[in-house]
Copies of this chain bind each other. A is one copy, B any other.
Amino acid sequence: MKKQLLAIYWLLAIPFCLSAQNPNSDSAVIRRMFDEALLRGKAHPMLGELCKTAPGRVSGSANAQKAVEWGYKTMSDLGFDTVFLQPCMVPHWVRGDAEEAKIIGKRVKEKVNICALGGSIGTGKKGIKAQVIEVKSIEEVEKLGRDKVEGKIVFYSRPMDARKIYTFAAYGSCVDQRVWGAKEAAKHGAVGVIVRSMNLSQDKHPHTGTLVYDDSVQKIPAAAISTEDADKLSLLLQSEPELQFYFRQTCETLPDVLSYNVVGEIRGTEFPQEYVITGGHLDAWDNGEGAHDDGAGCVHSIEAVRIFKALGIRPKRTIRAVLFMNEENGLKGALQYARQADSLQEKHIAAIESDRGGFTPRGFHLEGDSGKIELVRQWVKLFEPYGLHDFANGGGGADISPLKKSQKGILLAGFVPDSQRYFDFHHANTDRFENVNKRELELGAASIAAFMYLLTQHGY
């Protein structure tokens, strides 16, 4: 009886031992990837280099070009099989002088913190002074109509909804004010637009971000105001509805500039013509260092590929780190990448994007064929020891989205780090290297490497 029990014990134990001891099991490889990232990781120093040598690398700027050179040199020095540039023409918007703004009332004259929205026109050198009308939505502007709006500065003040646990959901339901607010206000004769910053904190930092004009509508200047100053303005308007606002910004859009995506790859051993890519965007708004947005995504991607190399893992399929240019205001790099993949008939089976910051990893949001996604979800248990649980359906990301069109059946995966702090930094001068935690960044890179590994080895 004792012997029988022992035999049963060993029979039960064998599969466990095999998986625990097999250095090539998925779980063992993933463990080594995390160890590499946490013990010998390069993500953090790489991010420091990028942020300090090329801060504020908005498309078309000298620092964007420095960032391209940095990406090319970094991946070349790491010894990736191939590193190349993909040329594309990008918009070139410049901020000009530091912005000025004041609330001007009967009893108050107070400076406030604003910054021009990306792509906005300037106010002219003298600035604009006009009465302010506060609204909570674009719909409210439409309801008010020309009678109430003409000649005024429209102040969009709807805050992000703090109740939403996933802060990108709060952003998504608020950012229409910033993107289309100027265009809609202009239709009703507004002369300028001020938007409450997309930020869940009360602070002094204005948060920029792109706006979209309509060529058939008069362009009017638009700026973001810090959340503290937005609340102050709202309060003052309650006691003095005729309050005036002054702002001056000299931003402008110059002719398009030649720029580049930077791509580094390791060739696949079995299916080199099939691609699994991971990317972030290299451009960043000019007012910060682009640390979380999206230096983190760039170094996540480079580091994920570096981890394969450091561990001597030859992927079955070709893997790429793609540093996209011009995500913030045009997506020209992303469109160029998809076009080239199409024309070269590069079969992309999966694309991962990291553009939600360098925080503790929580999962990947998945977009693609629902049956195939269920197969991917079988890998979830491999990620649980590392704290990743969120593999919901959801958008992959802006830069990989153009691949959907021509790459039939592709899986798009958006890396999801913890979102609580992201909007403290997003598009603001607080988005600095010092506000990225080394371990959190490293765990993100390892998570992406692990997901790439599963995709390259098992296909999709």
B165, A387: Cβ atoms under 8 Å? yes
CA distance A167 to B360 in the complex (A): 13
A150 within 8 A of B: no
CA distance A328 to B106 in the complex (A): 56
1/0 per position for A209-253, CB-CB distance to B under 8 A?
000000000000000000000000000000000000000000000
A437, B418: Cβ atoms under 8 Å? no
Query: 8 Å CB contacts to B: which residues of A270-289?
Result: none
CA distance A385 to B200 in the complex (A): 19
CA distance A200 to B167 in the complex (A): 28
CA distance A360 to B162 in the complex (A): 15
CA distance A15 to B360 in the complex (A): 36
Query: 8 Å CB contacts to B: which residues of A108-138?
Result: none
1/0 per position for A85-125, CB-CB distance to B under 8 A?
00000000000000000000000000000000000000000
Q: Which residue of B lies closest to A41 (CB)?
A: B162
CA distance A38 to B159 in the complex (A): 13
A39, B163: Cβ atoms under 8 Å? yes
B165, A34: Cβ atoms under 8 Å? yes
CA distance A34 to B166 in the complex (A): 13
Contacts of A362 in B (CB 8 A): 387
- Copies of this protein in the assembly total 2
A146 within 8 A of B: no
A439 within 8 A of B: yes
Q: Which residue of B lies closest to A446 (CB)?
A: B165
Contacts of A389 in B (CB 8 A): 389
A342 within 8 A of B: no
A443 within 8 A of B: yes
B162, A39: Cβ atoms under 8 Å? yes
Contacts of A439 in B (CB 8 A): 162, 167, 200, 420-421
A49 within 8 A of B: no
Query: 8 Å CB contacts to B: which residues of A18-55?
Result: 34-35, 38-39
Q: Which 3 A-B pairs have the closest CB atoms?
A: A389-B389, A38-B162, A420-B439
A sample of 13 inter-chain contacts (CB < 8 A) reads A38-B163, A162-B439, A165-B385, A165-B386, A200-B439, A201-B438, A360-B418, A362-B387, A387-B418, A418-B418, A420-B443, A421-B439, A424-B437
Besides A38-B163, A39-B162, A165-B385, 18 new A-B residue pairs in contact (Cβ under 8 A), listed by A number: A35-B163, A38-B162, A39-B163, A165-B387, A165-B443, A167-B439, A200-B439, A201-B438, A360-B418, A360-B420, A387-B418, A418-B418, A420-B437, A420-B440, A420-B443, A421-B437, A421-B439, A424-B437
